[in-house]
C-alpha cells in the first residue's frame, strides 16, 4: 500500500446514481486543491475537440458499441498526464471494471501516487426520492429539486423561463435499473480495493449537504 504522506494523491470516488458523488467531488476539489476528473467529461471533451482519441471514441459510439477498457484506460492516462494533476486528482466514474482498476493501480504504484477510495453509501429509497424530484431545463440545462431547491415558479426555469421536464433517467423504473447495474458492477471493485490494502473511506450519502459530506470525506482522506 502506498502511504507516503508526501506523495501525490488519487481520490477514487464511488457512489450509485443519485448519491451526489459528482457534486461532492466538486466541493472536494476546493478542499484538497485537486482537479475533479469525470470520465464522462473527458470523453465529451475529446470528441468535441476532435482529438485522435476522441475520434476513436466517436467511431465506437456511432457504431452503437461500448468504449473498451483499453481505450478508456488510454483516455484517462492521457488526462492524468496533464500539468494540473501534478499534485494528484479526484477520479469520478473511473474505474468501472476490474481491468480498469488493475490498470489504474499499476500506474499509480509506478508513479508513486497514493490512492484513497471514498464510497458515498446511499439507500435506494433515498435515491428514488431525490431523483424523482429532480426537474431539468431542456433549454439552458439548469437543474432543480422539488424537495430542496425548487424553481421560483412551479414548472418554469428561473434562468430562461422554459418549461421544466423530468429526464427519462430520473424515472423510477430507469433509476431501479441503473442502481442494480451499479451494484452489480461496483461490488467486485469495492472488494478489489479492500483486498489490495488501499485506504477505504465511507461517507453517508443519505442526509446532509454535499459540502458537509465533502468536509467529512476530506477529513477521512487526510487522517
Q: Is 222 a catalytic residue?
A: no
SS (H, E, C) 193-207: HHHCCCEEEEEECCC
State which fold the 8-123+187-222 domain adopts.
Answer: Rossmann fold (3.40.50)
SS3 87: coil
Cross-strand bridge partners of residue 163: 156
The active-site residue, picked from 44, 48, 163, 167, is 167
The active-site residue, picked from 8, 21, 79, 114, is 21
> Left (φ > 0), alpha (ψ -120 to 50) or beta: where does 93 sit?
left
Q: With beta carbons less than 8 A apart as the criterion, state whether 74 and 20 touch.
A: no
Using a cut of 0.75, tell me whether the model's pTM lies above it: yes
Q: Is 58 a catalytic residue?
A: no
Distance, CA of 142 to CA of 133 (rounded, Å): 14
Chain centroid, CA 220 distance in Å:
18
Cross-strand bridge partners of residue 203: 120
Q: Is 134 a catalytic residue?
A: yes
The active-site residue, picked from 31, 74, 96, 139, is 96
The active-site residue, picked from 8, 79, 130, 134, is 134
The active-site residue, picked from 74, 107, 139, 178, is 178
Q: With beta carbons less than 8 A apart as the criterion, state whether 14 and 210 touch.
A: no
Strands laid side by side in the 36-38 sheet: 36-38, 88-92, 8-14, 113-121, 199-204
Q: Is 114 a catalytic residue?
A: no
Q: Is 178 a catalytic residue?
A: yes
Distance, CA of 58 to CA of 7 (rounded, Å): 36
Distance, CA of 66 to CA of 57 (rounded, Å): 9
SS3 95: coil
> pLDDT (tens digit, 0 to 9) for every residue of the chain, 223 residues total?
333 445 799 999 999 988 989 989 999 999 999 999 998 888 888 888 999 988 998 898 888 877 899 999 999 999 999 999 999 999 998 999 999 999 999 999 999 999 999 999 999 999 999 999 999 999 998 989 998 889 999 999 999 999 999 988 899 999 999 898 888 888 899 899 989 999 999 999 999 999 999 999 999 999 8
Amino acid at each position: 500500500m502506498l502511504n507516503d504522506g508526501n506523495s501525490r494523491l488519487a481520490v477514487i470516488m464511488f457512489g450509485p446514481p443519485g448519491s451526489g458523488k459528482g457534486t461532492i467531488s466538486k466541493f472536494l476539489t476546493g478542499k484538497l486543491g485537486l482537479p475533479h476528473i469525470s470520465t464522462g467529461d473527458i470523453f465529451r471533451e475529446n470528441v468535441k475537440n476532435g482529438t485522435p482519441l476522441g475520434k476513436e471514441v466517436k467511431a465506437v459510439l456511432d457504431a452503437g458499441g461500448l468504449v473498451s477498457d483499453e481505450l478508456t484506460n488510454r483516455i484517462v492516462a492521457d488526462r492524468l498526464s496533464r500539468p494540473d494533476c501534478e499534485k494528484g486528482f479526484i477520479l469520478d466514474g473511473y474505474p468501472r471494471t476490474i481491468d480498469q482498476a488493475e490498470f489504474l493501480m499499476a500506474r499509480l504504484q509506478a508513479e508513486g501516487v497514493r490512492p484513497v477510495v471514498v464510497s458515498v453509501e446511499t439507500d435506494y429509497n433515498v435515491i428514488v426520492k431525490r431523483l424523482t424530484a429532480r426537474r431539468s431545463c431542456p433549454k439552458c440545462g439548469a437543474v432543480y429539486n422539488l424537495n430542496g431547491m425548487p424553481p421560483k415558479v412551479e414548472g418554469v426555469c428561473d434562468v430562461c423561463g422554459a418549461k421544466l421536464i423530468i429526464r427519462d433517467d430520473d424515472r423510477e423504473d430507469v433509476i431501479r435499473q441503473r442502481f442494480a447495474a451499479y451494484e452489480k458492477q461496483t461490488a467486485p471493485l469495492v472488494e478489489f480495493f479492500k483486498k489490495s490494502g488501499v485506504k477505504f473511506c465511507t461517507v453517508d450519502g443519505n442526509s446532509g449537504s454535499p459540502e458537509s459530506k465533502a468536509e467529512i470525506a476530506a477529513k477521512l482522506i487526510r487522517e
